[in-house]
Chain A
């Protein structure tokens, strides 16, 4: 495994000649994604902040999806997950992804519930 790298990204549609080239390619991709994120964060287009999808602003969905894209390429190409055996990949990724999703879901629902309790309560919190 030490000398063999899978050199194609985007499901094989973009092939690199060497591993070093692939690294620079991924770096350019990560830079573009970051620049897009920062630009959106500064401009904050109104149609993205006003539209909501599943109780969250469209802009925030875009940020989260772009973050996951970046995380994918860091893990797959910088940490060489692409070259590992699928059993190793799954034991690392699936475990982490499942536990994190579960934890986030539970804590966010609970946080929102407490917010409702504070808001519809007879006790005043804003003084």
Chain B
């Protein structure tokens, strides 16, 4: 096989191969391009959130009123504090990650181990916080009535404070029972019922003169419209259809169901990224402990997962703004 050409004769020339025009390794470059495509996915979600919000701009829930809880502080109105805490957890885990990358450049194995460990803890803390946020949102707090047209009616007292439906609904004995599989002739059961039926809420509303209805539509001042007592009675008896407690993909006691849909989808997709980031970090963490990169002579793998981890933080910065602030 003497005729086989071993060399192309173009070594050292620009197009001769073996060049790294962007001066980054293959793996790092591919991580960057993955991040670009993932950023486009997330911006697609956030842009469609903006689309739906602009579409229903006069009836979109105010995030400050939706996320007002803080763990162990029951009944305390604490808008934003919890999500600010989550943001700090994530930014801080980003800091420990970049410290791990820096220690990796200096080939300090024990420091990399420590900082990777702290990063993993931060990631787990963030996912846990998000689970709590979801649970609170799903559970709801005051309850509301959905109209036939799918609009949400919330209840206020005459001072303008929110009233939970449990506080005024009258109990009608035997109004409704959940159909469980054990009672049926066939293997059928129905989904969880709300604590009160619409009839019970309506009866309680008519019996209490000091309760008003607040619709989702914003008035000139940009606040949800509060109806007078007379209008409230008309609205509830003519349009009311069912009771909503908490939020799921179909109903949302805080306002438009699309708000809940986008909340679950975007924060869920982001939480999934954090979760997979934690898994990848754990794998790299064990590789560091085993000395894989020490033997390889380079901690570039830590840098690559670091890029992904910072990207997750970057996305959260935008989710935080567009879901909670704007």
| B95 contacts A23, C-beta separation under 8 Å | yes
Q: A85-B22, A127-B147 are in contact. Are A71 and B43 (CB under 8 A)?
A: no
| B148 contacts A84, C-beta separation under 8 Å | no
- Sampled A-B contacts (11; CB under 8 Å): A2-B300, A23-B99, A63-B326, A77-B98, A78-B306, A79-B314, A88-B32, A92-B33, A100-B40, A112-B54, A119-B58
Instruction: Give Cα A38–Cα B303 distance, bound, in whole angstroms.
Output: 31
Chain B residues closer than 8 Å to A66, beta-carbon distance: 321
Instruction: Give Cα A24–Cα B145 distance, bound, in whole angstroms.
Output: 49
A42 at the B interface (CB under 8 A): yes
B27 at the A interface (CB under 8 A): no
| A41 contacts B325, C-beta separation under 8 Å | yes
| A41 contacts B324, C-beta separation under 8 Å | yes
A126 at the B interface (CB under 8 A): yes
Instruction: Give Cα A96–Cα B39 distance, bound, in whole angstroms.
Output: 7
B13 at the A interface (CB under 8 A): no
| B55 contacts A126, C-beta separation under 8 Å | no
B149 at the A interface (CB under 8 A): yes
What would 19 more interface pairs be, CB under 8 Å, given A75-B310, A78-B94?
A31-B88, A34-B88, A38-B84, A74-B313, A74-B314, A75-B314, A79-B311, A79-B314, A84-B23, A85-B23, A87-B21, A96-B43, A107-B50, A108-B54, A112-B57, A115-B54, A118-B55, A126-B217, A127-B148
A interface residue count range (under 10 / 10 to 19 / 20 to 34 / 35 or more): 35 or more
Instruction: Give Cα A41–Cα B313 distance, bound, in whole angstroms.
Output: 20
Name the residue of chain B whose CB is nearest to the CB of A91. B22
B36 at the A interface (CB under 8 A): yes
Chain B residues closer than 8 Å to A30, beta-carbon distance: 91
Nearest chain A CB to B315's CB is how many angstroms away? Answer: 10
| B326 contacts A64, C-beta separation under 8 Å | yes
| B54 contacts A19, C-beta separation under 8 Å | no
Instruction: Give Cα A105–Cα B52 distance, bound, in whole angstroms.
Output: 13
B24 at the A interface (CB under 8 A): yes
B interface residue count range (under 10 / 10 to 19 / 20 to 34 / 35 or more): 35 or more
Instruction: Give Cα A84–Cα B20 distance, bound, in whole angstroms.
Output: 12
B307 at the A interface (CB under 8 A): yes
Nearest chain A CB to B83's CB is how many angstroms away? Answer: 8
Nearest chain A CB to B243's CB is how many angstroms away? Answer: 18
Chain B residues closer than 8 Å to A41, beta-carbon distance: 64, 79-80, 324-325
Nearest chain B CB to A66's CB is how many angstroms away? Answer: 8
Nearest chain A CB to B15's CB is how many angstroms away? Answer: 16
In residues 42-84 of chain A, which contact B (Cβ within 8 Å)? 42, 49, 60, 63-64, 66-67, 70-71, 74-75, 77-80, 84
In residues 267-326 of chain B, which contact A (Cβ within 8 Å)? 298, 300, 303, 306-307, 310-311, 313-314, 317-318, 320-321, 324-326
| A31 contacts B91, C-beta separation under 8 Å | yes
Chain B residues closer than 8 Å to A20, beta-carbon distance: 99, 102
B56 at the A interface (CB under 8 A): yes
- Within 8 Å by CB of A100, from B43, B94, B101, B102, lies B43
| B307 contacts A64, C-beta separation under 8 Å | no
Residue among A1, A79, A118 with the most chain B CB within 10 A? A79
